[in-house]
């Protein structure tokens, strides 16, 4: 007899680095444009405009001795404890990232062995049937990891997975590029389990993933420093900001709507939207456009929790850390309760988009 399976989040954890870097600390920088010409405005003027556009006032950077896999293991341990499980019962460890471990003061990425394998070692998991592997899918990587876990559960290839998003973007930024102020470090993790579906019970209700790789491929890319005398062989994370904004505003709301349709959920049932913390202005515009697809002009109050003002954009870590914080009541005016329907959504390098509809 066929037994339908739902993917249920049974534990969450996150690691937020202690090192705070405020916008004012960038005031000593000279900023250059993509033509390697110095931007004449004073740094404080650039910072003020940056704040108005992104909503970011500070971000967190990892300690010198800490790598992405270290943060991932700490977040994972919290999620395991929260779920109350034996780590040896985990079938898969899925780690989403983009740059592997990048040692401080270098730009070299280290992803061999995989970050997931390093996490397995750090957690002292000895079970050879626990399979660790990495996911490279841009900022939507953590959500994609959940989609993969869901597929494994439904195909009876796994029963319990650890899904992590971790990144040290502070080590791949060009300090002469004003976009460098967007990025930050962090890690978030969840334990998910495939359990027998209960009518109106918890679990993933539906998911959508999309990829656009024609002209969109290089909206986010690795490029040389904007500083004229920099070593041209060294590459840093770069963005075509306007292109990313326009792409996201067009395609992310449509993907979110497709996810709700697939999940057979009415938009009025959605209690929270956990969207990738990329840019406050962009995220608000996406949510407004999403509701306009349903003819709703005014978005519900407190529909979208955010932590970008304090934590910046930590790529794959933004959604799981935000969910963990709201789930544990650390973000004012945002609570979750059993039966709530939420949306996870993200957009990033690829260009890739995905969304998950989930009932608590």
User: Domain with 229 in it: what CATH number?
Assistant: 3.40.47.10
Distance of CA 22 to the CA centre of its chain: 21
Q: How far is CA 101 from the centre of its chain?
A: 17
pLDDT per residue rounded down to tens, the chain (360 residues): 567 899 999 999 999 999 999 999 998 888 999 999 999 877 888 999 999 999 999 999 999 999 999 999 999 999 999 999 999 999 999 999 999 999 877 778 899 999 999 999 999 999 999 999 999 999 999 999 999 999 999 999 989 999 999 999 999 999 999 999 999 999 999 999 999 989 899 999 999 999 999 999 999 999 999 999 999 889 999 999 999 999 999 999 999 999 999 999 999 999 999 999 999 999 999 999 999 999 999 999 899 999 999 999 999 999 999 999 999 999 988 999 999 999 999 999 999 999 999 999
Same domain, residue pair 93 and 235? no
Question: E strands of 212-321, at which residues?
Answer: 220-224, 235-239, 270-275
> Which structural domain, as residue segments, surrounds residue 37?
5-196
Find, among 227, 310, 296, the residue nearest to 268 by Cα: 296
Asked if 183 and 314 count as a contact pair (C-beta separation under 8 A), the reply is yes
Do 189 and 244 have their domain in common? no
Q: What is the pTM of this model?
A: 0.95
**Do 137 and 244 fall within a single domain?**
no
Biggest CA pair distance of the chain:
70
Structure tokens at 192: 């998910």
The two structure tokens encoding residue 238: 């770069």
What is the DSSP-derived secondary structure letter of residue 269?
Answer: G
Do residue 13 and residue 127 come from a single domain? yes
Count of structural domains within the chain: 2
Verify that 323 and 271 share a domain, yes or no.
yes
CA 151 to chain centre: 20
Decide if 135 contacts 141 (C-beta within 8 A). Answer: yes
> Any bridge partners for residue 165, and if so which?
96, 188
């Amino acid at each position: 007899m066929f037994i339908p399976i739902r993917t249920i989040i049974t534990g969450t954890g996150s690691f937020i680095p202690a090192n705070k870097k405020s916008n004012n600390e960038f005031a000593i920088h000279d900023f250059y444009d993509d033509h390697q010409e110095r931007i004449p405005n004073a740094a404080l003027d650039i910072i003020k405009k940056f704040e108005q556009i992104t909503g970011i006032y500070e971000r967190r950077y990892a300690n010198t001795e800490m790598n992405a896999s270290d943060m991932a293991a700490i977040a994972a341990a919290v999620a395991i404890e929260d779920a109350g499980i034996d780590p040896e019962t985990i079938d898969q460890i899925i780690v989403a990232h983009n740059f592997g471990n990048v040692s401080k003061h270098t730009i070299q990425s280290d992803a061999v062995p995989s970050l997931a394998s390093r996490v397995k070692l750090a957690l002292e998991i000895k079970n050879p049937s626990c399979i660790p592997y990495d996911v490279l899918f841009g900022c939507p990587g953590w959500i994609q990891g959940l989609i993969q876990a869901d597929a494994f559960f439904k195909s009876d290839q796994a029963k319990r997975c650890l899904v992590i998003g971790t990144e040290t973007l502070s080590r791949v930024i060009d300090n002469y590029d004003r976009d460098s102020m967007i990025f930050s470090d962090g890690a978030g993790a969840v334990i998910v389990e495939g359990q027998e579906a209960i009518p109106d019970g918890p679990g993933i209700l539906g998911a959508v993933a999309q990829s656009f790789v024609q002209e969109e491929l290089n909206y986010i890319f690795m490029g040389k420093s904007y500083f004229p005398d920099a070593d041209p062989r060294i590459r840093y994370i770069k963005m075509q900001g306007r292109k990313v904004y326009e792409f996201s505003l067009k395609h992310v709301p449509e993907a979110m709507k497709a996810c709700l349709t697939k999940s057979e959920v009415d938009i009025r049932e959605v209690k929270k939207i956990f969207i990738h913390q990329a840019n406050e202005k962009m995220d608000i515009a996406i949510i407004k456009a999403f509701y306009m697809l349903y003819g709703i002009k005014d978005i519900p109050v407190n529909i979208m929790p955010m932590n970008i003002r304090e934590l910046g954009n930590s790529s794959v870590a933004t959604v799981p850390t935000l969910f963990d914080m709201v789930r544990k009541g650390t973000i004012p005016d945002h609570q979750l309760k059993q039966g709530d329907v939420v949306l996870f959504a993200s957009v990033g390098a690829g260009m890739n988009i995905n969304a998950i509809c989930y009932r608590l």
